[in-house]
A and B are shown apart, each in its own frame.
Chain A
């Protein structure tokens, strides 16, 4: 118990001292917010996500045609969705792989025929979505459209059939026709809803996160370096002369740094939400990503500080690493606009993984489950980099 309370004491002392330090506030909060606001406004009112969806009709029924027409017609001109039509699944896959379209929505054969059966309790033949792993956002939007169509058709057909059941006449041709026309009408509001989500994903949220993560390298890095400063200035000796273990000291320093990083990102999250109306999406998912990326950045800072030979090297390498990772991770570009190679490169960076996860949460209604892969990768990065650097850091702190 003594160890943990000593660690918390050390963490609290560091945290409070850093909060008093104007440069820390500037670096951890003011600068990322200002940059997010500036870059965000440069990109206009909304993130310009755009996707071309190939609508493949394998069914060829009146209902399938009606549903697909409804999607296209129901999408406002301002929405960032474009459609092409096709009837061949193999060709569609080719288009997707060649990048001519961003996702494919397939109406399978038998779809139209399954609509009347809904009333009798047999399920609707589901729509298929084919996605490109690198174009998650387009995939998510298309999937949402498909799910929306399915559930809308189901509810409206059930509504019609219930109305007919109440009128007590058995389902006849007219009743089936009523269901079919209901099914054809349902797509419009679904498309609108998706577009609406796109419009509200504010660039300030994206760039708030991207700049916050970039500057995390400096706030968290300063924490790692402060260990070396304290060692030089002798305060670390005085701490270690107290009845506390070295492990408690390291733990306290780590907690202090992590708390600082978390405070920085959470404040940016709250500030952009409150001041700019930025919409980040599921708080649980956002929080999970934030915690994971703070750990990853702390690990990388440990590694850089531990492996560098001199203090000047620590400073130099930290800045280089921070900016290279930010650039590769797509921190200065709008989401989805990275060319293919860079999209792959982005996955080498914690910035890339975190931003991708946050974009998914903010733009495509992602939930905690959706960000778990990214969180896992970030935690793995944290573990690996910490392991690589901790030996060197300990050697610098010990005497």
Chain B
């Protein structure tokens, strides 16, 4: 909420030099990142990269071996638990009492956050509306489907209107439909100005939701930035494949002269281009095809994605 914060410059989260050591393994090794107000920040990394460990330190669930965490300008340490109220945590596993109803779960966790009476009741109703469980709020959680449990798990993190919503892989093991619903609601919340820290090992989710992404692998943040910045950082280029008939060789030559085109290779029935900026290339490409008298039947754009960035940086695939 860019307008609601007094000192607009204060980031909602500032984590610096986080380290967690188990035995002789540094499972989180000097991770630093900052989340501005209203920003959705993604931590993208494969299984075991250290995402949950990092988040646990940020939320004060886990002691740090080194580093500092500042939430909305306040340092997080053992003696100032009130700082934690600024965070709404959605743990990776369903963290609800299965023998209680959704409403009872929300009531308990809301009270723990200091909500009471009418304020609590109206927040519970609002959250039930957001997660789409208003009509089944009084059923026990263990009677819910996996997707409903997931949504309720998210709702419990939203109750106290935190400044920063922290979600740890909220779509793991969820059917495509529920997954889409979850992503949509996070987009809506982000759009309303809520700051979000989102971990995932799904590249598409990070691309779809996050303003900025930190790529984490083996406990280290190996790259960070907007999607565009990350892609530029590693110099990955988009690929465009134009299918058509006519003077394809002539077209390839004309394309090679365009500014954003790195290479243009004709082959039987198509021209393959490597470009630095798809948007800048598309219109001139179509014009060039007209001039060369090529009849275009299809244009395929393969934008570089975070998957290819990860591959480039680590030499391995994001998912194995």
Spell out A's residues near B (CB within 8 Å).
Answer: 2, 6, 9-10, 13, 17, 20-21, 233-235, 237-245, 399
CA distance A130 to B61 in the complex (A): 62
B165-200 contact mask (Cβ, 8 Å, vs A): 1 or 0 = 000000000000000000000000000000000000
B109 to nearest A CB, angstroms? 6
A13 to B105, CA, bound (A): 10
B204 interface contact, C-beta 8 A: no
**Which residue of B is nearest A399, CB measured?**
B62
Q: Which of B87, B89, B95, B112 contacts A233 (CB 8 A)?
A: B95
Does B253 sit at the interface, judged by CB under 8 A? no
Q: Out of B62, B94, B97, B114, name the residue touching A243 (CB < 8 Å).
A: B114
Q: How far in angstroms is the closest Cβ of chain B from A121?
A: 69
Find B99's partner among A17, A234, A240 (CB 8 Å cutoff).
A17
Q: Tell whether, in the assembled complex, residue B59 and residue A241 are in contact, meaning their CB atoms are under 8 Å apart.
A: yes
Alpha-carbon gap, A243 to B81, bound state (A)? 5
- List chain A residues, Cβ under 8 A from B59: 241
Please give, as numbers and ranges, the residues of chain B lying within 8 Å of A240 by CB-CB distance.
Answer: 60-61
Q: Please determine whether A245 and B97 come into contact, CB atoms closer than 8 angstroms.
A: no
Tell whether A234 pairs with B91 under 8 Å between CB atoms, given A9-B112, A243-B113. Answer: yes
| A2, A10, A13, most chain B CB atoms within 10 A | A13
For residue A13, which residues in chain B have a CB less than 8 angstroms away from its CB?
97, 108
Known A-B contacts A6-B112, A242-B109, A399-B61; the reply to A237 vs B100 at CB < 8 A is: no
A243 touches B82 (CB 8 A): yes
Binding site for A on B (CB under 8 A): 56, 59-62, 78, 81-85, 87, 89, 91-97, 99-100, 108-109, 111-114, 156
Residues A234 and B94 in contact, CB atoms below 8 Å apart: yes
Contacts of B84 in A (CB 8 A): 241-243
CB pair B108–A9 under 8 Å, yes or no, is yes
Q: Are B112 and A239 in contact (CB under 8 A)?
A: yes
Decide: A241 and B81 in contact? CB cutoff 8 A: no
Find the B residue at minimum CB distance from A232: B93
A2–B114 Cα distance when bound, in Å, is: 9
Query: Which residues of chain B have C-beta atoms less than 8 A from A237's C-beta?
Result: 56, 61, 89, 91, 95
The number of inter-chain residue pairs (CB within 8 angstroms) is: 66
Q: How far is the CA of A238 from the CA of B62 in the complex (A)?
A: 12
Bound form: Cα–Cα A108–B119 in Å: 78
List the 7 closest A-B pairs by CB distance, nearest first: A234-B95, A242-B112, A241-B89, A238-B95, A243-B85, A234-B93, A243-B84
Nearest-Cβ distance from residue A227 to partner chain B, whole angstroms = 14
Which residue of chain A lies nearest to B53 when distances are taken between CB atoms in the complex? A399
Please, which residue of chain A has its CB at the minimum distance from the CB of B111? A9
Q: How far is the CA of A399 from the CA of B87 in the complex (A)?
A: 20
Asked whether B109 lies within 8 Å of A238 as measured between CB atoms, the reply is: yes
Chain A residues touching B, majority SS: helix
> CA–CA, A235 to B96, complex, Å?
6
Q: Which of B61, B94, B97 contacts A241 (CB 8 A)?
A: B61
Most B CB within 10 A of own CB, among A13, A234, A238: A238
Q: For A2, list chain B residues within 8 Å (CB).
A: 82, 114
List, in ascending order, chain A residues with CB within 8 A of B85's CB: 242-243
The answer, among B61, B81, B87, for a CB contact under 8 Å with A245, is B81
Q: How far is the CB of B111 from chain A (nearest CB, A)?
A: 5
Q: Given contacts A13-B108, A399-B56, is CB(A242)–CB(B95) below 8 Å?
A: no
Contact present for A244 and B112 (CB under 8 Å): yes
In the complex, the answer to whether A233 meets B109 with C-beta atoms within 8 Å is no
B54 → A minimal CB distance (Å): 13
List chain B residues, Cβ under 8 A from A9: 108, 111-112
Interface contact A235-B113, CB-CB below 8 Å: no
Contact B89 A17 (CB under 8 A): no
Chain A residues closer than 8 Å to B111, beta-carbon distance:
9
Chain A residues closer than 8 Å to B60, beta-carbon distance: 240-241
Which residues of B lie under 8 Å from residue A243 when comparing CB positions?
Answer: 81-85, 113-114
Q: Is the CB of B82 within 8 A of A238?
A: no
Chain B contacts of A21 at CB under 8 A?
A: 99
Chain A residue contacts of B62, Cβ below 8 A: 399
| Alpha-carbon distance between A239 and B59 when the two chains are bound, in angstroms | 11
Q: Residues of A contacting B113 with CB < 8 Å?
A: 242-243
**Minimum CB distance partner of A240 in chain B:** B61
Residues from chain B with a CB closer than 8 A to the CB of A6 are 112
| 17 contacts across the A-B interface (CB closer than 8 A) | A2-B82, A6-B112, A10-B112, A17-B99, A233-B93, A234-B94, A235-B95, A235-B96, A237-B61, A237-B91, A239-B109, A239-B112, A240-B61, A241-B60, A243-B114, A245-B81, A399-B61
Report the separation of the CA atoms of residues A21 and B61 in the bound assembly, to the nearest whole angstrom: 29
Question: Are B83 and A238 interface neighbours, CB within 8 A?
Answer: no
When the two chains form their complex, are residues A238 and B56 in contact, meaning their CB atoms are under 8 A apart?
no
Enumerate chain B residues within 8 angstroms of A242, measured Cβ to Cβ. 84-85, 109, 112-113
Query: Which residue of B59, B61, B93, B112 has the most chain A CB atoms within 10 A of its CB atom?
Result: B112
Give, as a whole number of angstroms, the nearest-CB distance from A42 to chain B: 37
Q: How far is the CA of A233 from the CA of B87 in the complex (A)?
A: 20
Which residue of B has the minimal Cβ distance to A236?
Answer: B95
Q: How many angstroms from the CA of A281 to the CA of B108 in the assembled complex?
A: 40
A244 to B60, CA, bound (A): 11
State the Cβ distance, A10 to closest chain B Cβ, in Å.
8
CA distance A234 to B109 in the complex (A): 13
Q: Chain B residues near A235 (CB, 8 Å)?
A: 95-97
Residues of A within 8 A of B56 (CB): 237, 399
Chain A residues with CB below 8 A from B108, complex form: 9, 13
CB distance from B83 to the nearest CB of A (A): 7
- Chain A contacts of B61 at CB under 8 A? 237, 240-241, 399
Q: How far in angstroms is the closest Cβ of chain B from A243? A: 4
Of the candidates A17, A244, A399, the one whose C-beta lies within 8 Å of that of B97 is: A17
Question: In the complex, what residues of B have CB within 8 A of residue A399's CB?
Answer: 56, 61-62
A17 near B100: Cβ-Cβ < 8 Å? yes
